[in-house]
Amino acid sequence: MGEDATPVEGIDPAVHEVLVDELVEVRRWFVVGNDYVWPRHTARSARHYARESGGRVAGEVYLPLGTEDFEPVLRHVERSDATRC
């Protein structure tokens, strides 16, 4: 992805190749990102792409940059109905 790429240009090919082509059963995704504008725009693109490909985003969590303790996030993902891979 080029340095001027938009979130849509970056997420669509990656989601399609990895989650649709290689892991056909993935239909419910969980988005985890840093709490700033780029990850949130990318997540919006992921929600859009998920709907278009017959899936959905089961949850989202945004963390402050530099977060080191991911245990609460992992518990949140585990409690969601996101597809397990």
73: pLDDT strictly greater than 60: yes
1: pLDDT strictly greater than 50: no
Contact 78, 60 (CB under 8 A): no
Span 3-12, pLDDT tens digits: 555 555 556 6
In order, the DSSP letters of 4-58 are: T--HHHHHHHHIIIIIIII-TT--EEEEEEESSHHHHHHHHHHHHHHHHTT-EEE
Tell me: domain 7-79, CATH 3.40.50.2300, correct?
yes
**How many Å apart are CA 33 and CA 65, to the nearest integer?**
9
Span 14-67, pLDDT tens digits: 666 665 566 556 789 899 999 999 889 888 888 888 888 788 999 999 999 999
Burial string for 35-49 (b: 16+ CB within 10 Å, else e) reads eeeebebbbbbbbeb
Helix, strand, or coil (residue 75)? helix
pTM above 0.75, yes or no: no
Domain boundaries, the chain: 7-79
